[in-house]
Structures are given as C-alpha cells and as structure tokens.
C-alpha cells in the first residue's frame, strides 16, 4: 500500500471520527485531519502550511461575509417581504408558475452568497406562510424550502462548493454559469411541479392575503429596490459587458449595495444586523478555513499528486459509485473538499468545468443528510415541525431526481462541453 494512500486514509478516518463520533464541527474536523496528515508525513505540525492554507479561500470568505450583511440589510429594509407579496399577487391565477417563482425566490440569496442556509433563514422564512396559506402541508412546505436552498447553493453566479473544488485542482472560477444552471434549474423546476401537482389546486387570493396579513404600503416605493437592482445589475454587467465596466469584485459590490441599503433605510441598525449576519456565516467560514488547510496538507504530503495519477486507473463503475456517495458526507463543503477534489482527477478525461458542476450538485445534497441535516432542521423550525427528519423523508423524490440529473450531466460531460462551448 502506498504511503500517500495511508496518509489519505488516516486523514479521512480522523475527519470521520471527529465529525461522527466526537460530534465536532466540520470545519474543526478538517483542521484536525490536516494536522494528522502533517504529523504522519513527518512534518510535525506545519504551522506555515496550515496558515497559508487557511487563507486559501479568503476571497470566498469575503464574499460570504459581505453577502450575508447585504441580505440581512435587505431583509431588515422590508424589500424581501414586498417581493413575496408581489409574487403571490402576480401569479396566484397560475399555481404552477407561482410555485416555480417561489422556488426561484427562495434560491435567490444562495445564488448571491453561495450559502444554502441563507435561503432558509431569509426568503425561506418569508415564503413559508405563503406556502401554508395556499394549502401546502407543513412537511411539504419545509421540504420545498430545503430543496430550493440546495439549488440556490449550486446555481450561479456564486457557488462556494465550486470554489472549493476549483481551489483544490487549480481551476479558475470561469465558465460555470451554464453547467451550474444545467444541474440546478431542471431539478428546481421538477421539485416545484412535484409539490404543485401533489398539493396545490386552486388559490383564493383574498383568503391567502387575509391569512398572511401582508401590508403593501411603503412610502419609500421604488427606492427600496435600488440596492438589489445595483448588485444584480452590476454583477451581470461585469460578466456580459466586462469591457465597459470597472471590475469591482463581488465583495465590494455587496459592500456598495449594503451602503445603498442603509442610505435608503436609515433606521436599519447596521451594527446589530452585521453581527447577526456574521454569526450566521461563521460556521461556513470556519469550514472554508479548514478546507484550505486540508487541501494544503494534501499537496505538502504528495497525496494530491498520488490521487491525480491513480484516478486514471479506476474503472468507470467505481468512479460513478464514488460520485453517488458524495451526498452522504453530511456537509456540502466537506464533501466538495474531501471527495469532490479527487473526483475531478478521476474524471480527468472529461470537461473539468462540467464535471465539477455535477459534483457540486451531489455535494450540496449533503446539507440535507444526517447526522446534522442542517437544512432540514432550519426548514423544520421555519414551518413549525418538531421532527426535522420528516422533512428529509418528504424530500426523497426530489433528492433522487437531483442525483439523477447530476449523474446524467457527469456521464455526458464531454458532449455537453462541446455543445455549449
């Protein structure tokens, strides 16, 4: 048995023991696994390498921090509630379209921040009463919100799991928009239609508005939407018309959007809102620091090179089985770093961009899975369900379909790449 393989197995074992036996957070477990790798390879505790790896995802950390503050300011200003009201009033006559728009609305914060939990805790909280009011049972409403959060984490323009895998294989975050839409949008549409057919027949707008007790009047009018319009518009303009727009970077765009939000809503308590936002983002930030250290030690010990060489010798059946295991890691970010990075090498004969997009969908489903089942737990709190595992049970069909889409994209990655690129 190769020494590099022994190091990898010991690192994975230490991570698994830390998460599943000692019940340590995933970020701390990744840091401990990195330390174990350094010790086994005879480097002691390689402080310099650990510090360097810890800063490897600084850009992603800045995106998360600034995006969370921006979304909390938008929530505090009331604009998200007004959008929720607008959705129900505009699409109540077309239930299928209404559910699809609600799913996209829940996905929206995740698309901007790369965090699935943000979807549940912001737009998910807002649409939960809407879903219940139009006749969707609590378990199904929680499942719909949790699944939409997964798709929001995967969908462009910001996908943190893609950044994690890209950082592990030295792949820039370029060209992922179409592949990420291919794996997230069909699954999102299927999930919306699945719950619409099962539970929603006809919507009585007056009854729904009475149940929701929503207030549309806001003296600020259109001004309230300016920060959102700026953030979304500038991000799109940087991509589509990059020759004419100054490249500000995503963190600065979110920061400017936050400043605009405070100007328009001066009653917003910026310190309180920022502290709450960063407190929510901190667990994910710790995971990214741990992922950076873990990947740095894989490089230091030669495990990364060993994986790249060994991957070419694996039979196809084993490759796809390994991809199907990704959701059961219990965390999208841990799965992306521990399994996603080696699998990109495994499928080295295919388009790395399309392969990564499919693997990210598999990894993101891990946020639903036990033991933590964080998205199910958040969604259960949102809809008032005590046993969050019932949310997971309600989500089985959408999960299976999402995995099916990801595997299909993975199998035909090279054909998809030639068609779109």
Neighbour count for residue 349 (Cβ, 10 Å): 10
Phi/psi for 219 (5° steps) reads -65, -20
| CA 73 to centroid of chain Cα atoms | 20
Paired tokens of 10: 């010991």
pLDDT of residue 258: 94
Query: What 3-state DSSP class applies to 66?
Result: helix
Contact residues for 352 (Cβ-Cβ < 8 A; gap 6+): 169, 171, 344
pLDDT-derived band at 214 (thresholds 50, 70, 90) equals: low
In this prediction, residues 237-262 reach a mean pLDDT of 85
Q: Indicate if the pLDDT at residue 131 is higher than 80.
A: yes
Tokens of 362: 């598999």
Does the structure show a pLDDT above 70 at 377?
yes
For 51-55, 118-122, 369-373, which range has the lowest pLDDT when averaged over its residues? 369-373
Tokens of 405: 């889409």
For residue 139 the two structure tokens come to 């378990």
For residue 179, the model assigns a pLDDT of 94
pLDDT band of residue 261 (cuts 50, 70, 90) is: very high
Per-residue pLDDT reduced to its tens digit, 217-246:
555 577 888 998 998 888 878 767 777 788
How confident is the model over 252-264, as a mean pLDDT? 92
- The SS3 call for residue 158 is coil
Compare 371 and 51 and report the one with higher pLDDT: 51
Question: Given this model, what pLDDT does residue 406 score?
Answer: 95
**What pLDDT is attached to residue 183?**
96
Residue 147's pLDDT is 97
- Tokens representing residue 247 in the block: 């490249």
pLDDT number for residue 184: 96
Q: For tokens 């958040």, what's the residue?
A: 378
* pLDDT of 204 above 90: no
pLDDT tens figures, 264-297: 888 888 899 999 988 878 877 887 788 889 888 9
**pLDDT at 370 (0 to 100):** 74
Give pLDDT, residue 51: 92
pLDDT digits (tens, 9 = 90+) for 308-333: 677 666 676 677 887 888 888 667 87
DSSP code at position 203: -
How far apart are the C-alpha atoms of 58 and 188, rounded to whole Å? 30
pLDDT tens column, 82-107: 887 888 888 888 999 999 999 999 99
Taking only the tens place, the pLDDT of each residue in 324-361 is 888 886 678 778 877 788 888 888 778 999 999 999 99
Pairwise CA distance, residues 413 & 346, whole Å = 13
User: What are the pLDDT digits (tens) for 155-166?
Assistant: 998 898 998 898
Query: Is the pLDDT score of 168 beyond 70?
Result: yes
First to last CA, the chain: 41
What is the residue extent of each domain of the chain?
A: 3-420
- 326 with 339: CB under 8 angstroms? yes
Q: What is the pLDDT of residues 386-412, one digit of tens each?
A: 888 899 999 999 999 999 999 999 999
Task: Classify residue 240 by burial, with Cβ atoms within 10 Å: 0-12, 13-18, 19+.
Answer: exposed
Longest dimension (CA), the chain: 70
Average pLDDT of the chain to the nearest whole number: 86
Task: With cut-offs at 50, 70 and 90, classify the pLDDT of residue 376.
Answer: confident
Give the residue ranges of DSSP H helices in 17-57: 26-40, 47-54
Place of tokens 């060209």: 175
pLDDT at 378 > cutoff 70: yes
Please determine, for residue 304, whether its predicted confidence score (pLDDT) is greater than 70. yes
CA distance 201 to 365: 29
Q: Which residue has the tokens 């300016």?
A: 226
184 CB-side CA count, 13 A = 32
Summarised one tens digit per residue, pLDDT across range 19-40 is: 778 888 878 888 999 999 999 9
């Amino acid at each position: 048995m190769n020494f590099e393989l022994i190091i990898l197995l010991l690192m994975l074992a230490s991570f698994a023991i830390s998460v599943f036996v000692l019940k340590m957070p995933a970020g701390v477990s990744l840091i401990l696994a990195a330390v174990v790798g350094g010790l086994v390879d005879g480097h002691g505790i390689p402080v310099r390498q650990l510090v360097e790896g810890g800063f490897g995802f600084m850009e992603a950390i800045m995106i998360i921090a600034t995006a969370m503050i921006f979304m909390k300011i938008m929530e505090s200003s009331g604009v998200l509630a007004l959008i929720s009201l607008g959705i129900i009033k505009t699409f109540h006559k077309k239930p299928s379209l209404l559910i699809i728009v609600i799913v996209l609305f829940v996905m929206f914060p995740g698309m901007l921040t790369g965090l699935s939990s943000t979807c549940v805790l912001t737009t998910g909280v807002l649409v939960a009463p809407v879903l219940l009011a139009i006749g969707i049972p609590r378990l199904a409403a929680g499942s719909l919100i949790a699944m939409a959060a997964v798709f929001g984490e995967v969908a462009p323009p910001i996908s943190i799991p893609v950044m994690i895998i890209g950082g592990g294989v030295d792949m820039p975050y370029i060209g992922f928009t179409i592949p990420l839409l291919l794996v997230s949008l069909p699954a999102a549409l299927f999930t919306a239609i699945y719950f619409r057919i099962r539970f929603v027949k006809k919507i009585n707008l007056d009854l729904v508005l009475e149940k929701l007790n929503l207030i549309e009047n806001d003296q600020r009018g259109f001004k309230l939407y300016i920060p959102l319009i700026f953030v979304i518009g500038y991000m799109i303009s940087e991509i589509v018309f990059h020759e004419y727009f100054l490249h500000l970077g995503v963190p600065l765009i979110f920061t400017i959007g936050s400043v605009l939000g405070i100007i328009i809503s001066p009653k917003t308590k910026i310190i309180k809102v920022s502290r709450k936002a960063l407190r929510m983002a901190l667990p994910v930030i710790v995971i990214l620091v741990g992922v950076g250290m873990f990947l740095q030690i894989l490089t230091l010990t030669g495990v990364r090179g060993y994986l790249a060489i060994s991957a070419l010798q694996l039979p196809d059946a084993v490759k796809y089985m390994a991809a199907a295991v990704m959701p059961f890691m219990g965390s999208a970010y841990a799965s992306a770093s521990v399994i996603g990075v080696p699998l990109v090498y495994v499928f080295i004969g295919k388009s790395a961009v399309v392969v990564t997009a499919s693997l990210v969908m598999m990894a993101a489903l891990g946020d639903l899975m036990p033991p933590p089942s964080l998205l199910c737990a958040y969604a259960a709190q949102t809809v008032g369900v005590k046993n969050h595992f019932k949310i997971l049970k309600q989500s089985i069909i959408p999960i299976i379909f999402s995995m099916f889409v990801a595997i299909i994209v993975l199998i035909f990655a090279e054909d998809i790449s030639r068609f779109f690129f």
